[in-house]
Amino acid sequence: MTDINHHELLTDMAAVIGRHDWDRLEDFYHSDAVLEYPQSGELFVGFANIRAQFANYRDLEPGTTELRDVIGGTDYALTPMYTVIAVEGSGNRGVALLRAHYPDQTWWWVINIYELRDGRIARARNFFAPEFDPPDWRAPFREKPDLPR
């Protein structure tokens, strides 16, 4: 089994998506890959459909990606489209926590659970959650996490 750098793979993929470089997207997905959005009940089978759902996203402006920091061996990258916050993975499976900036200017958190084959995504399940302000009543019990907001 080839040793896969999950951080590099997801950071590079986020940069390609952020730039709308759809011709390079195939570097990250197999031709028969499956992308699942369980919350909406959608399933995109095959690279052509995965690419089309990204490329046809309404009002999505391209952005830039930069490597912001390296902390404890974990890469953090910023992009208006997807910000890779943390990636945990070994072998052919991994989980990425991302931050997505939508055309309506809201920020959403994305959890991407993925499986690789030959260093490219063969299957991914993405879960989406909008950012929201915490309720005041929890203030006495919380600490501020070390995550961008």
pLDDT value of position 122: 97
Pairing of strands 93-101, 107-117: antiparallel
Query: For a pLDDT cut of 90, what percent of the chain falls above it?
Result: 37
Residue among 86, 61, 90 nearest 72 (CA): 86
Residue 118 CA to residue 52 CA, distance in Å, equals 23
| pLDDT tens figures, 63-120 | 533 333 322 334 444 454 556 555 656 678 888 877 777 778 787 888 888 899 999 9
Does residue 132 or residue 68 have the better pLDDT?
Answer: 132
Q: In which band, very low, low, confident or very high, does the pLDDT at 149 lie, cut at 50, 70 and 90?
A: low
Tokens of 32: 């028969």
Q: For the chain, what is the mean pLDDT?
A: 79
Range 26-45 average pLDDT = 96
- What letter represents residue 116's amino acid? L
pLDDT value of position 72: 30
pLDDT value of position 70: 26
Query: For a pLDDT cut of 70, what percent of the chain falls above it?
Result: 75
- What letter represents residue 16's amino acid? V
Residue 18 CA to residue 20 CA, distance in Å, equals 6
pTM of the model: 0.77
